[in-house]
Amino acid sequence: MCVCVIACLAVFAATGVSAAPVEMYGVYEASFTSSRAYENPSQDVETAVEFVSPAGKRTGADTFWDGGGVWRVRFSPDETGTWRWTSRCSDASNAGLHGRSGSFQCKPYRGSNPLRLHGPLKLSPTRRYLAHVDGTPFFWLADTAWNGVLKANPDDWEKYLSSRRKQGFTAVQFVSTPWRSFDVDSHGETAFTGTEDFRINPGFFRRLDGRVQAINSHGMVAAPVVLWAVGKSDPGQALSEKNAIRLSKYIVARWGAHNVVWMLGGDGNYGGERAGRWKTIGRAVFGDRPARLATMHPGGLQWPVEEFRGEAWYGIAGYQSGHGDSARAVRWLVEGPPATEWDRRPALPFINLEPNYEAILAYESKKAHNALSVRKALYRSLLISPASGVTYGHHAIWFWTDTPMVPSKHPGSGIAIAWREAVESEGAGSVRHLAGLFNSIRWWTLRPDASLVLNRPDDPLRFIASARSDDGALAMVYLPEGGALKLNTSKLKPGSRLRWFDPATGAFTSAGEITAGDLQLTAPGQGDCVLLIGDSDERGAGWPRTTRNESEERQCL
């Protein structure tokens, strides 16, 4: 574990004395030693801690059993000053868990980590994108390192996270427990045993703690899938509703003080009759005022959003366009629910949590998706709905392998190269340029507008995505094949400058400015390109940079 991770976690035994100071939005931890032994500790007793802020606000946090007679609580303070707490236990006779009290000091954060400077995530005032608690817009740019937390050693994990942060990534998606592509950890253990005689294995999660913390220490949000659910052996299907809730609450108690966004289910089918089970689990785990945002990660080309849109805990409309390359697959993305249902109420950010992975074999053609294929999915996903973010993936990174091989239980997906080679792939370079582009504009003002393009192709494989701000001061058009563009300027601000952006290299080329009447433009080169209209800070694709919407920030303070 790196020093910067340890520094933000203050730990002390619950003896009633003050702990070492904790910085704002850091993690405070207290441990408790039970005075009684239990046959199945994670089920036989329930404990929680009430924290009282310097201003008198009361917040509850569940504890989690950490093996033997030890229980722990983790909490992230959001006020400076003296915090006080008191524990309670369902077994009031247990003097080690019930009626304990203590206090700690929270001091201002003085570092440069954006998650610590601006705080955890919430919905923006418009509910169309994510923002920190201080109002700073947050651009979701995640990587799918599904097996990374489970398989990586600490040194490799640090190298990976350092690379991804430099490339502009802001979140890492991962699986919290063994699943069909990774049955047991390096110790041959699982997160739990039994489906009826259900028992949590705290040692499994203890080995993951440092890797989850490290994601935050590198300035990225941790996005765990709590219950993977694609197969009958995955916890999302194998566990009863009662035990699925127990496992989920345990994971949330263990990691919920970190800067996380929860994906309750992973790769499952949550529609129809199945939705009821997941709603029940979500309500039991997160309640009606969740401390952190949560969503579902559905299977490819499935749309459970309308099943969950009204749930208090469901804060992001997550979807998966999958790994197809057929006209049908692309049509689902650019003409289907992601493009047509974003304006329903209550409003939610729409985020493609799994577009096609670089280097994976496409479902239909069996050809490997290249960097161009990846860019098409990323830019289209960002412009067919109000811009809020998107996720990237690489075939070698999600599986996390040191040597080339076909991922287990994924026949037909192609050989995955070593993760060390994949981390600096051409597609990852394209993500870096995308991050720089979007962090140079007010991306949170973009809304889809098909009317900007007057020569839009009928072929979904050649679909041109376009979006603009309400005031017309900013617009963006993505052309997957370059070529000619007939631009409708009636909704654009006169005099706004036009620039071509090469998403493969990050280079800009001047294209004039907006004048009266429709404009005929021709993209430079033969590859895909972006037309950027207006609103830029002129720093081009520089990274990293923090964006801030100051008017919205004032509303949120």
pLDDT for the residue numbered 13? 55
Question: What are the tens digits of pLDDT across the range 237-263?
Answer: 999 999 999 999 999 999 999 999 999
The answer to whether 150 and 174 have CB atoms below 8 angstroms apart is: yes
- Report the amino acid identity of residue 553: E
Rounded to 5 degrees, what angle do the CA atoms 247, 251, 252 make?
115
In CATH, what class is 139-440?
alpha beta
- CA–CA separation, 223 and 354 (whole Å): 13
Query: What is the share, in percent, of the chain residues with pLDDT greater than 70?
Result: 93
Max distance between CA atoms of the chain, in angstroms, equals 80
pLDDT for the residue numbered 120? 97
- CA–CA separation, 212 and 38 (whole Å): 29
Residue spans of the domains in the chain: they are 3-111, 139-440, 447-534
Over residues 127-154, the mean pLDDT reads: 97
Question: What are the tens digits of pLDDT across the range 400-431?
Answer: 999 999 999 999 999 999 999 999 999 999 99
- With 0-12 / 13-18 / 19 or more C-beta atoms within 10 angstroms meaning exposed / middle / buried, residue 18 is middle
Residue 11 in tokens: 């730990």
Give residues with Cβ within 8 angstroms of 7, minimum separation 6: none
The DSSP output letter for 290 is -
pLDDT for the residue numbered 12? 54
pLDDT for the residue numbered 10? 53
The answer to whether 60 and 1 have CB atoms below 8 angstroms apart is: no
Q: Which residue has the higher pLDDT, 536 or 498?
A: 498
Identify the three-state secondary structure at position 182.
strand
Q: Which residue has the higher pLDDT, 257 or 10?
A: 257
- CA–CA separation, 314 and 17 (whole Å): 38
Residue 323 in tokens: 């790994």
pLDDT for the residue numbered 404? 96
pLDDT for the residue numbered 536? 67
447-534 folds as Immunoglobulin-like (2.60.40)
Q: Is the pLDDT of residue 270 over 70?
A: yes
Question: Whole-prediction pTM value?
Answer: 0.93
Percentage helix, strand, coil for the chain under 3-state DSSP, each rounded to 5:
25, 25, 45
- CA–CA separation, 361 and 408 (whole Å): 15
Same topology for domains 139-440 and 447-534, yes or no?
no
Question: What are the tens digits of pLDDT across the range 425-463?
Answer: 999 999 999 999 999 999 999 999 999 999 999 999 999
CA 348 to mean position of chain CA atoms: 15
Residue among 427, 407, 408, 429 nearest 416 (CA): 407
Position 138 confidence tier, pLDDT thresholds 50, 70, 90: very high
- CA–CA separation, 555 and 338 (whole Å): 29
Domain spanning 3-111: CATH 2.60.40.10: yes
Q: What is the mean pLDDT of the chain?
A: 92
Q: Is the pLDDT of residue 544 over 60?
A: no
Please report, for residues 176, 225, 336, 502, 556, the alpha-carbon distance to residue 151 in angstroms, rounded to integers and kept in the order given: 11, 15, 36, 36, 39
Q: Is the pLDDT of residue 15 over 80?
A: no
Please report, for residues 8, 180, 193, 235, 263, the alpha-carbon distance to residue 229 in angstroms, rounded to integers and kept in the order given: 33, 9, 17, 6, 11
CA 518 to mean position of chain CA atoms: 39
- CA–CA separation, 19 and 104 (whole Å): 5
Q: Is the pLDDT of residue 549 over 50?
A: no
Over residues 117-138, the mean pLDDT reads: 97
Handedness of CA 437, 481, 164, 364 (dihedral sign): positive
